[in-house]
Chain A
Amino acid sequence: MVQSSEELLARIQSNFEPQPLPAGDPLYVDCTEVRGDVDICLEFRRSITRATKTQCRLYTGHRGAGKSTELLRLCKKFEDEEFFVVYFNADDADLNTEDTEYSDILLACTRHLLEELEDYANPNPVIDWLKSRWTALQDLGLSEVELDKMGAEVSISTFAKLTASVRQVPNVRQKIRQEVDNHTPTLIQVLNEYVGEAREKLSNKFKGIVMVVDSLDRIVPIFDVETSRSNHDRIFLDRHEQLKALACHVVYTIPISMVQSDRATSLFNCYSFPNILPMVMVKTRDGKPYPSGIAKMKEVIEKRVQKADRALSLDKLFEESEDLERLCSISGGHVRDLIFMMQEVINGTENLPIGSKAVNRAIAKLRDLYRLNVNDGEWIFLAKVHLCKMMPNTNEHRKLLLSRCILEYKPGENDPVWYDVHPTILSLPEFEEALTRAKPKEL
């Protein structure tokens, strides 16, 4: 049958998925030049391939900006350069508690290293370590914990099962944690022995082992009023020694708000400078459209549209070319927001071409989301950030950075970063009102 508009729309829509792209995906658009010229692949590879000792690097950026996509590319490049790569996405099997602590991350790393390096080293020292913890816990009288399976046949998979099941028993969790915490140095020690052995075995084929821990930025921030600190502080700042202590190269993804915290300087000192993936710069610091950034965003759309129909050009897809421009600029250079808007545009479109009504609907949806994320007292902060393009280092501002109400831009490798509010916010009445309050009064 003649390809109906409906079928084509469904196919176009299916190319606008919010998930990260695997390495080598033809839909990938290289935005390096409009993201402050920072190519994390290049930089990490340089630092790790040239390193004489193990490297620990931090990586961050706004949620949905393309971090995982870049990390997956990085892993591929490392593999091409003959590194043994252990990539994992910290998910609920690793961090399934509402109060994630450092020890959860360490146990997650342990589990994944055990699974991936199983064929190259003897896991017994690590298993033994775990067994002795269990004995100690038994002595504490924690009979809820299933210990029957801890026989000689203990395998790596039961390690995973046991750590998981233990963490699901809330009143035991704290005691387990304490026990693990007290013995962190010995765990790191046996784990490093294990990794060292694997590295040795792999050395004829691989230059080294790189572990990439993605999604640690997904730990929901929980703020402790008494200490005025968050769980993010406790994990990434207080435990930097341990996070760095593993005997392989490690890349951790951390929440973007961490880079702004009071102790950012010490964070830098501890880890060397974190790599930040900024927004695609769709406008300049003084608010003028930035054509090459807009062009990149158009390319993101174009590739995904043309995967569905190679002959379909963007000026045929949109009734008004101005609508396409608007979508690109109001995304603020945030790729997932652009993708979400395209989804909504197509949801609002019965027949091609896409008209202004559908575009307006999509923009309104996104704008409403940002409005919902701002509390009453926060509009004034946003207004000030917009006026001075700077971000004061406070908890309130960090929260707004984390929820993408404030976005970070970087024009070139050696240029300073600047901040602005998400473009959808600019036309909200609450913001406009705050702006008049924030502006210095004319004499």
Chain B
Amino acid sequence: MNTPARNWRIRLDEASEDEYNALLRALRRKNGFGLYFVRCSPATGREIFQHIKRDLSIKNTELLQLEKSVDNLYTRIQNLPTLKTLKILFIEGIEKSLTDYIKPGYGGQGDYYKEDSVPRVLNNLNLQRERFQTSFKFLIVFLVPEFAFKYFTRRAPDFFDWRLGIFEFKEDNSFELIPQRTTLSGDSLLLLERYEEAISSYDQAIKYKPDKHEAWNNRGIALDKLGRYEEAISSYDQAIKYKPDLHEAWYNRGNALDELGRYEEAISSYDQAIKYKPDYHEAWYNMACCYALQGKVPQVIQSLNQAITMNPNRYLNLLKTDSDFDVVRQDERFQVFLREMFERYPEFA
């Protein structure tokens, strides 16, 4: 599963590479609000931002660079023009709001983290966490140098307590140049819509373990997404060869055949899926589509009836606009059937 090398200006050692992958996973999996802290120097922070932006291109990622001290970070974020479309916001430079408080006083360590004062930005954050959660539907990643990180843990503990991850990048042991590679799995690449890479990742996996039926199946999905249906079908065939009752593979195979207009084969593939999972309503519905495209009204009614009974809301709605049924829509038997369905489920009529 080799993907193009990342070009770090600052070389990462193996530990940092692990941290980067963990950060990438965290940001990839989470949607909505989330708080993360990355302990690093400003330069490394910007590198990390650039790499995440590239590796997670499906999520709109931005960097907020604080040039000087702020009191209220909430309002600062709220004024961002791209607030609505933002998925991940990196924040750099919060330490500039803390430096004024580094001075002699009570408690703390040296002149830091004094207990007779609290930086205003932190005090605000500590009280603002609910407001952050309800207003901001994106991930917030603080890029912080060591002392600022400690300030958060000590002087904004309630805000800090809502974090979902901490990642650490040390620079002093990052001189050695190591082979750059990512360890994203095929499944991850698939979710990231990086299909070509996903396919080669699955190819690798299969090379070592040819009976990995999930890999065969998901490889088929990646091929499907690229419109390579013939190849997808043979990938599903392999999955089924190793696990004949893999109903998802039968279903996916049906869909690929459907795309190629091979309706008879698609139908028998859906039949297999249903054999192993009788309540597979998606398969019932798609089977109905194939029959409809062939104009076989009695079969359409029979399979559609199954799908609708299992999930009336979804299919009665879908049916209204699905052009697959245009051929049979004027047929009397079909219309009678529809009327019956809407009588049975008046709430969806």
List the interface of chain A (C-beta within 8 A of B): 1-2, 4-7, 9-10, 13-14, 18-19, 63-64, 89-98, 215, 218, 220-225, 336, 340, 343-344, 346-351, 361, 365, 369, 372-373, 375-376, 399, 402-403
Contact = CB atoms under 8 A, between A and B. Distances in A.
B190 A369 contact: no
A1 B29 contact: no
B165 A9 contact: no
B119 to A, nearest CB: 8
A207 to B, nearest CB: 29
12 contacts: A1-B218, A6-B190, A14-B30, A91-B128, A220-B123, A222-B116, A223-B116, A336-B161, A343-B164, A347-B22, A361-B22, A403-B154
Contacts of A376: 109
Contacts of A349: 25
Nearest to B191: A6
B95 interface: no
B109 A91 contact: no
A220 to B, nearest CB: 5
Nearest to B224: A1
B162 A348 contact: no
A291 B23 CA distance: 34
A343 B122 CA distance: 24
A6 B185 contact: yes
Contacts, number: 135
Given A220-B155, A372-B153, A376-B109, A19 B162 contact: yes
Nearest to B161: A64
A336 B131 CA distance: 20
Contacts of A220: 118, 122-123, 126, 155-156
B106 A343 contact: no
A218 B183 contact: no
Given A96-B127, A351-B187, A365-B166, 5 more contacts: A7-B187, A92-B127, A225-B105, A347-B165, A373-B153
Interface in B102-151: 105-109, 115-118, 120, 122-124, 126-131, 133, 149-150
Contacts of B116: 222-225
Chain B interface mostly:
helix
A90 B109 CA distance: 30
B30 A19 contact: no
B127 A90 contact: yes
Nearest to B21: A350
A2 B218 CA distance: 7
A372 B150 contact: yes
Contacts of A98: 117-118, 120, 123
Task: Pick the most buried of A2, A343, A369, A402: most chain B CB atoms within 10 A of its CB.
Answer: A2
B270 to A, nearest CB: 16
A19 B133 CA distance: 9
B183 A350 contact: yes
A10 B128 contact: no
A224 B105 CA distance: 10
Nearest to A13: B29
A3 to B, nearest CB: 9
Nearest to B120: A98
Contacts of A215: 158
B187 A369 contact: no
Contact of B115 (A94, A336, A340, A399): A399
Given A1-B248, A222-B116, A375-B109, A6 B154 contact: no
B107 A399 contact: yes
